[in-house]
Structures are given as C-alpha cells and as structure tokens.
Structure 1
C-alpha cells in the first residue's frame, strides 16, 4: 500500500511471515496467498449476514455522520477466551469451508506450523484492535475489504476504532453474541479470513491478478450486504458515500 505517514496495519505478507516466524518460514510454509480465500469468504461472512446484524450494520453505516468525539465511545465488550483449543477448532472449521478436499488440505497445511493468531496480532497492533473480541475481528476484515475494493490508503487508527464502535453496537444487540461461546468461533474464523485475505491480496499484486482479486472481494462483500464502493471510512466510521 502507499505510505501516508501512519503505521501500517496491513504490511506485505512475506515481510510479516519473516518477522513473525523467521526468514526460513517464507520458503518453508505453504503460501497463504494461494489459498481459495474467495471461495471460503462467503460462508464465513454468514456470521455477519444474519438479517438483524446485516440490517443493523447497514443502518449504522447509512446514518448521518456523527463526530466520534461528540458521543461516548461504544466499547461494548464482545470478548471471548481465545484458547489454543478454540483456535484449532476454528482452523478445522475454516478449512472445511474450502470448495474441495485438496483446497481444505492446503488451508490446513498453510496454517499448521504458523500461528495465525500471532500473525493477526502483528497486523492489527497499531490500530488498537483486540485479538479476542468478535467485533474487533469483524472490523479488521471489513476494513481490509474496504481498502482492497477502494484501493485506499491506510486508514487512520481513529477511523478503524469508530468502525469498531459501529459494529460492536450492532453485535451487542444480537442475542447470539450475548453468549460468549458463540463469539469465539466467529471471531477466530474472521481472524483466519483476515490473514488469508491479506496474503491473497499481496500475491495478487505480485502475479498481476489484482483486478480480479479486488472484484472477487467486492462481489463477496456485496452479496453479504456490504457494498464497499458506496461507503467511506472516516472519523465517524463507515458512512454512506455522498
């Protein structure tokens, strides 16, 4: 991405792998950028596609912009306990969403020896998002999708936090997410989707398939009710483009 003088939450995938897992891991691991992320994403997005959640988010994003400083921060807790067991279960569930057995095995191989949770934490570190909160994980993916679709510069951390407030307010009103046990699987799969999507984005830029990748991300999000070409990301969070 282009530098705009702010910390980068989404750094090149190869550099991230080298920083977090050591230089040898870049060559040793299966390339997460070659995973069938465009095929997997729609079913993970089902966590945000429930009618009440989708409509709540659409209403929040379409509302007239409100300066974040003019209202109390909405730090609704949607935390859960991100344990190794939960992360292992989430990886199996994520791989099972692949379109065929070979693709599922590729997902398991890509993440078998690399800690996706550690990678996720490294990517979001500068933006104040938590690694054990379903609203934060959903925010990370939706902001990344918005960046990809709009070919945007890195967002200001305050804009990311404002988007997180919008998403947390909506999820906090959904009875499913009142149950801490329901938060974990959704949060961990969004973290996996975020890491794999970022890696795929980097690979698409390298191999000349970026337009198709951008179109695929845009299509998946639009099918789930998030038309990122109609939204801006501002200090008020996601707002309808005017």
Structure 2
C-alpha cells in the first residue's frame, strides 16, 4: 500500500536498520488456519473466496492524543537506536519536523481506513509487510484493503485481547503498526536497485511478522483478501 509518495521518510530509509519488528501484543498464530484455501477459477473469471464477516468497528477505535503520539514517537526512536543509532537520529529529526501519522491520514482515507483504528493500522502493516516480503510495490485497491481489514479485525477480535485495551494502548499499537508499515514501504522502495539489500528487506519483513506469529510465506494476496498459499 503506497502511502509515502515523496515523503522525507523515503530518504531516511537508507540509514535505517532493515529489522522492522512488529510491536503488537496480538498473537496471530491462529490467523493462518482461518484463511480460505484458494478455490478453482470459475468459467466467468478468477476465484473469489467468501469474504469474512465484519467484526464490530467500535472496539478498534480510539480517541488519539497528540501528547501520547509524541511519546510513541520517542519510544520508537529509542527502540530503533539499539539497532542503528544513525537511523534513530534521522527518525528523531523527521518526527521533530513532521507528524507522519497525520500526514498519511489522507492516503489511508482513500482506502476507507483511518489512523485512529487499531484494525485499520494492522491492515496497513499486514499489507505492507506481505508486499515487502515479496519485493512488490504495486498499489492495492480499496476493495482489497477492506477485505484484509475484515480479516485483521476478525483475527484481532478472536483473541479476546482487544476488549481489554484502553485508548492509550490502542493508540500505541496502531501508531507502531503505521510507522513500521511506512518504514517497510520506504526500505522496499530504496532496495529496488540493490538485490542484496532487497533480500534483507524481504527477510526483515518476514521476521518482523513472525513476532506476532504471522507467517507471510503461508499466504497469498488476492482481490478479496489473503488466502492460503498453494503448496
């Protein structure tokens, strides 16, 4: 999902670690098992697996706090510093100049997604992590994004953890997902002309997703969401 266009974060990506680890609390180990297997195409065209029913949207929303966002930025910078001090310094400069979460809100709106919704943020991370794991940068459709959003919301709701989170925790998670999604997109774009770097980005996307037990290699992206990959 292309969010950045000509954002300065693209230029900072070259200095950042390619280890973009997910910082969520959700264990998605059961998600892969709930994905539909790809069905055979009908005579009329490509197969369309049945869409998952939408989970209640209210549970995923939160009222954002700008003060908390500043703390979230600072926390993300410090976690980055352990792996790449230079990258952390560049991120610190960027976050001091721009509210990158606010800046991507219009791009997300084009997909029917919001920055103040944990499931929406997980959707953006999931799509960008999967795309980065394949070295792909083609644009997703709104319908595709909404299908993945239903899958993300249902998977998160199934854990039972979403009901225990207050607004502050939801915001922390959502903004971590969004920052990681932007970094993955930026690093993917920077690595296009460097096969060795691209291999690192792809491996990093997979490793980061595995922090939530999300197996990107086990799934394929279709016009109606993720399905089990053919083996």
Asked whether the two chains share a fold, i.e. TM above 0.5, the reply is yes
User: Shift in Å at residue 137 of structure 1?
Assistant: 0.5
Which of the residues 172, 181, 191 maps onto 2:178? 191
- Over 3 Å counting, the alpha-carbon distance change for 1:102 and 1:235 in structure 2 is closer
Which of the residues 16, 25, 28 maps onto 2:6? 16
Normalized per residue, which structure has more helix? Answer: 1
1:150 equivalenced with 2:134 (yes/no): yes
Give unmatched runs, 5+ long, in structure 2. 40-48
Compute the TM-score of the two structures, normalised by the length of structure 2.
0.78
Residues 16 and 119, structure 1, Cα contact 8 Å, conserved in 2: no
User: Shift in Å at residue 197 of structure 1?
Assistant: 1.9
User: Shift in Å at residue 111 of structure 1?
Assistant: 1.9
- Over 3 Å counting, the alpha-carbon distance change for 1:204 and 1:235 in structure 2 is closer
- Over 3 Å counting, the alpha-carbon distance change for 1:61 and 1:134 in structure 2 is same
Which of the residues 125, 134, 140 maps onto 1:141? 125
1:36 equivalenced with 2:16 (yes/no): yes
Give unmatched runs, 5+ long, in structure 1. 1-8, 18-25
Moved over 6 A (4+): none
2:89 corresponds in structure 1 to 105
Q: Secondary structure at the match of 1:239?
A: strand
- How does 1:1-242 map onto structure 2 within 5 Å? 9-10=1-2, 13=4, 15-17=5-7, 26=8, 31-39=11-19, 41-42=20-21, 45-48=22-25, 50=26, 53-61=27-35, 66-68=49-51, 72-77=53-58, 78-98=60-80, 99=82, 101-152=85-136, 153-178=138-163, 179-181=165-167, 182-205=169-192, 209-222=197-210, 224-242=212-230
Compute the TM-score of the two structures, normalised by the length of structure 1.
0.75
RMSD: 2.8
Residues 119 and 156, structure 2, Cα contact 8 Å, conserved in 1: yes
Q: Secondary structure at the match of 1:218?
A: helix
- Greater relative contact order: 1 or 2 (C-alpha under 8 angstroms, separation 6 or more)? 2
- Over 3 Å counting, the alpha-carbon distance change for 1:64 and 1:211 in structure 2 is closer
User: Shift in Å at residue 221 of structure 1?
Assistant: 2.4
- Over 3 Å counting, the alpha-carbon distance change for 1:34 and 1:112 in structure 2 is farther
User: Shift in Å at residue 63 of structure 1?
Assistant: 6.4
- Over 3 Å counting, the alpha-carbon distance change for 1:37 and 1:130 in structure 2 is farther
2:43 corresponds in structure 1 to none
Aligned pairs, how many?
A: 214
